[in-house]
Structure 1
Amino acid sequence: MKHITCIEDLRQVHMRKVPKAFFDYADRGSYAEETLRANREDLQQIKFRQRILVDISQRDLSTTIIGEKSNLPLILAPVGSTGMQYGDGEILACRAAQAAGIPYTLSTMSINSIEDVAENVEKPFWFQLYVMKDRGFCKALIERAIAAKCSALVLTVDLQVIGQRHMDIKNGMTVPPKLFSPSNIIDIATKPGWVMSILGAKRRNFGNIAGHLPGGQDLASVSGWVASQFDASLNWKDVDWIRSIWPGKLIIKGILDVEDAEEAVKTGAQAMVVSNHGGRQLDGAPSSIEVLPEIADAVGSQIEILFDGGIRSGQDVMRALALGAKSCMIGRAYIYGLGAFGGPGVAKAIDLIANELSVTMGLCGVNKIAEIDDHVIAV
C-alpha cells in the first residue's frame, strides 16, 4: 500500500475492487446529492492559521470520548451492510479500530451480528440502534448489546423515513434487492477478490435480524421486513423508553438543529452527533460543519459534541474540533479502505487521518487536542 497517500486513493481502489452496486451504496447520497457535496465543500472552505517557531515536539493526539480513553479524536461510524464491502467487514473494521485505540460502532443493519463481533474482538465496542415498529425486537437488540458488553448505545434518530438514493434504485439496491441483472452479474464476475472474501465470510445476510423472522431468511425477505419497520411515529418519548432499558452511555446521532440539540440534552444522553446521515437523508439540509458552531455554542457545555459528515482527512478532523466538536466519526473514509484492502485498508485509513492531523496540529502551533479551538482558523 505504499502508493496510497490519502483517502481518495483508497476510494479509487475500492471503486475498482467492489461491485458497483455496493460501492455506490457507500459512496453516493440522496436525491440531487446537494447535502452530500456540501459536507465536503463547506469543510474545504475553512482555512487554517499557520503559526511558526512554536515548540511542537510534544504533539499528543490522545483524548477521551464519553469518558473512554482514545488514541485519536476519531470513531468508526456505523455503516449498514459493511460486510458486503468485504467479507466479515464489521469484524475486520472493529479489530482495526481497537488496534488503533479508537471506538468502533456496529450498525443495526450489519452483516456480522452483535455476537459475531463480540466473539471475535478483544474489547467492548459501541452499538448503533434504529428504532423499529417492532418494539419487542428493539428491546431484544438492546438486551443483546448489553450481553455483549457494548460500552455505548448510539441511537440514530434521522431515519424515520428513508431518503431516496437514486443510484441504489438504478443498481438494484432496492427493497427487496434486484442485484442479479445481467449488468450486475457481469460486474460481480469481474471482481474475483471480492467474491472470494464474501464466500469465505461468516454471513451474507443481516446478522442481527437472522432468526427473528418466522418466514424466509433470504436477503429479499429480510430487506422487505426492514423497509416496513422504519417508524414515522418515533418521538422523544421513545428515547425515554430506550433509557429505561439501556443502563449505559447513550449517544443521540442525527442532530442538525439547535432546538433538537436542546431537547437531546434533556434526555440525559452523554453525547450527541451533529450529523445529516452523510447526505443520505434530507437533501437540501445544511452541511454538518455549517451548523456545528451554533449547536456547540448552545449546548456544548452541557453535553459532549461529536461530529459526522464529510471527514476525509486529518485536516477535516482539525476543522471540526476547532468549531466545537470533541471528536469525529468517519464512515465512508474507512469503508473505502475496507473495500480496497480489507482490514489493513481500514488501518491505513485511520493511519492516514492520524498522520495528517498530527502534521496539521504542528503547522498550526498546537501540541494537544484540548488546545484546538477557533484560534487555529484563519479569519
Structure 2
Amino acid sequence: MSEIQKAGTLQKLLKPCHDATVRRWTQRLDKCFTISDLKSLFEKRIPPVVGDYFLGGASDERTLRENEAAFERTRFAPNYGIRYDSIDTSTTVAGTKVSMPIIAAPVGSLRTVWPHGEAVAAKAVGEAGTICTLSTLTGTRLEEVRAASPHDCWFQLYLVGGQEVATKAIERAKKAGYTALVLTIDTPVAGLRYRDMRNGSSQAINGGLLQKMRFAPQMSRHLSWLTSYYHDGGLMDFPNIELPGGEPMPYADIGNQLQKAAVTWDDIQWIRDAWQGPIIVKGVHTLHDAQKAADVGAAAIVVSNHGGRQLDRVLPTLDALREIAPHMKDRNIDVLMDGGIRSGGDVAIAIARGAKAVLIGRAYTFGLGTAGHAGVSKAFSILRSELEHTMRQLGCASLAELDESYLRDSRV
C-alpha cells in the first residue's frame, strides 16, 4: 500500500471520531453567550502549540492587549425614552450589501483548527449575510472556499512567490468570483512572535521525530483536535500559492518569504491592472497612509495593526481610527477597522468613531476551532444580537445614526 493510500485509509478510519467531535462540541455552544465563552472552549479543544498562533501577538503583546483596552475605556451616552419596532444593522461596503457591519477578516492557517476550516467558515459567514475574506496563507483552495459561501467573498493577497505567482492567484480569484482584493501593507517582515518561539511551534512543524515527541503529552490532552487534524490529512500546505511547476508551497515558516514579498505603493498599479476590480488596503495606521490609499484609488481602507501581531507598541486601532476617519469623509473611500473587537458593543463603538464596518478575526476563529460551522455561526449570532441590543439601548434605529455623540471617554 502506498503512503497516499495509507493516509487515505487513516482519514476514513478517523471520520467517526471527527463526527463525534462535531456533536460533542456543538452541544457545548448552548452555554456560550459571549465571544469570551467561545474563547474558553477554543483553549480547551486546541492544543497550546497550535492555539497560541491565533491567541498571541508580537513581542510583549502590549498592542494586543491595548486593542481591547481601547474599547474598554470607552463609555456610551444613550438617549432614552425611545422605542423602535426594528433595528437596521445593514450597510454597504465597497459596493457589497451586508446584513451587519461585521466582516470576517483574513486569518491564516485556519485549517489547523478545523478540517477545511476556511470553507467551513465561509459557508457560515455567508449564511450570516456578510463577507468572508480569505487569506493567501490558508490550507483550502480558494475555489472551494468561494463555492462554499452564499454571499460575496474577498481575497487577501500576499506577494509570496513573486509577481508571477501572485498574478496567477489573482486570475484564479477573479475566475472563482471573488469581488474585492485585499492588500495587506503592514507585513514588511513577519512580527516577532515570542509566544510561538517559546512554545516551540517550529519544532512541532519541522523538527525530527524526537523533537516532535516532546509534544505528545500535550496532544494526548486534546484528542478531539488530534483526530480531526489527521482526519483532514495532517499538516496542510498553501494551495493558493502555486510555485513554478504547479506545486503548492509547503507549510513552513514564511517570515523570509514575507520579507521578500512586502507590498509597496509601487506594486498597486500592476496589481490593479491584473485585478480590474475594487482594491482594499489593509494595515493602515496613519492619516498619511490612509490618504495614500485614497490617492491610488482604493475602494476602502482597513485601519488595522494586524491584531497586534506585527509591530508592538503601535496605537490601538480604535485610537488610530479616531485620528483618521474624520479626515476621510470627502475622499470617496470606505473606512473599516479591525483589532480588539470582542462584542457587539465594540462594533457599535467602532461605527460611532467613524468606521463603515469592522473586520473580526479571532472572534470567529474561536468559534471555528470550537465547533466548526456551528461555532462560526454562533460567533456572528452573538455579535449581531449584542449590536442590536446596544443600538436599542442607545436609541439608534440604524447605523447611520451612530456617531461620536453617543460616546464618552472614561475618566477612570
- TM > 0.5 between the two? yes
After superposition, the Cα gap between the structure-2 partners of 1:301 and 1:215, relative to the gap in structure 1 and judged at 3 Å, is closer
CA positional deviation for 1:189: 2.6
CA positional deviation for 1:61: 1.1
Maintained 8 Å contact 1:175/1:223: no
After superposition, the Cα gap between the structure-2 partners of 1:227 and 1:85, relative to the gap in structure 1 and judged at 3 Å, is farther
Supply the distance in 1 between the matched residues of 2:149 and 2:404 (Cα, whole angstroms): 38
CA positional deviation for 1:195: 2.2
After superposition, the Cα gap between the structure-2 partners of 1:368 and 1:210, relative to the gap in structure 1 and judged at 3 Å, is closer
Q: Does 1:295 pair with 2:333?
A: no
Supply the distance in 1 between the matched residues of 2:200 and 2:313 (Cα, whole angstroms): 25
After superposition, the Cα gap between the structure-2 partners of 1:316 and 1:268, relative to the gap in structure 1 and judged at 3 Å, is same
Equivalent of residue 230 in structure 2, options 199, 206, 209: 199
3-state SS of paired residue (1:208): strand
CA positional deviation for 1:174: 3.1
Supply the distance in 2 between the matched residues of 1:176 and 1:196 (Cα, whole angstroms): 17
The residue identity in structure 1 corresponding to 2:183 is L
Q: TM (normalized to structure 1)?
A: 0.94
Q: Does 1:25 pair with 2:56?
A: no
Maintained 8 Å contact 1:163/1:281: yes
Which residue number in structure 1 is paired with residue 340 of structure 2?
A: 310
Maintained 8 Å contact 1:131/1:234: yes
Q: Does 1:60 pair with 2:88?
A: yes
3-state SS of paired residue (2:359): strand
Q: Does 1:87 pair with 2:109?
A: no
Supply the distance in 2 between the matched residues of 1:96 and 1:325 (Cα, whole angstroms): 24
Maintained 8 Å contact 1:253/1:272: yes
Which residues of structure 2 form unaligned runs of 5+? 1-28
The residue identity in structure 2 corresponding to 1:291 is A
Which residue number in structure 1 is paired with residue 243 of structure 2?
A: 212
- Residue by residue over 1:64-112, the C-alpha shift from the partner in whole angstroms, topping out at 9 and shown as x without a partner, is 1112111100000000001111111101110010110010000000111
3-state SS of paired residue (1:132): coil
Supply the distance in 2 between the matched residues of 1:168 and 1:86 (Cα, whole angstroms): 20
Maintained 8 Å contact 1:112/1:203: no
CA positional deviation for 1:186: 2.1
Which residue number in structure 1 is paired with residue 219 of structure 2?
A: 188
Which residue number in structure 2 is paired with residue 378 of structure 1?
A: 408
The residue identity in structure 2 corresponding to 1:127 is F
Supply the distance in 2 between the matched residues of 1:334 and 1:175 (Cα, whole angstroms): 27
Which residue number in structure 1 is paired with residue 308 of structure 2?
A: 279
Which residue number in structure 2 is paired with residue 365 of structure 1?
A: 395
Equivalent of residue 10 in structure 1, options 35, 38, 52: 38
CA positional deviation for 1:175: 8.6
Supply the distance in 2 between the matched residues of 1:224 and 1:213 (Cα, whole angstroms): 19
Which residue number in structure 1 is paired with residue 286 of structure 2?
A: 257
Equivalent of residue 349 in structure 1, options 360, 379, 383: 379
The residue identity in structure 1 corresponding to 2:266 is K
3-state SS of paired residue (1:2): helix
Maintained 8 Å contact 1:252/1:272: yes
After superposition, the Cα gap between the structure-2 partners of 1:178 and 1:172, relative to the gap in structure 1 and judged at 3 Å, is farther
Q: Does 1:126 pair with 2:134?
A: no
Supply the distance in 2 between the matched residues of 1:164 and 1:224 (Cα, whole angstroms): 12
Supply the distance in 1 between the matched residues of 2:188 and 2:304 (Cα, whole angstroms): 15
Which residues of structure 1 form unaligned runs of 5+? none
Which residue number in structure 1 is paired with residue 106 of structure 2?
A: 78
Give the alignment's Cα RMSD to 1 decimal. 2.1
- Residue by residue over 1:130-159, the C-alpha shift from the partner in whole angstroms, topping out at 9 and shown as x without a partner, is 123511111111111111110111111101
Which residue number in structure 2 is paired with residue 247 of structure 1?
A: 276
Supply the distance in 2 between the matched residues of 1:4 and 1:356 (Cα, whole angstroms): 13
Bigger helix share: 2
Supply the distance in 1 between the matched residues of 2:257 and 2:78 (Cα, whole angstroms): 52
Q: TM (normalized to structure 2)?
A: 0.86
Task: Please identify the structure whose Cα radius of gyration is greater.
Answer: 2
The residue identity in structure 2 corresponding to 1:186 is P
After superposition, the Cα gap between the structure-2 partners of 1:116 and 1:185, relative to the gap in structure 1 and judged at 3 Å, is farther
Which residue number in structure 1 is paired with residue 14 of structure 2?
A: none
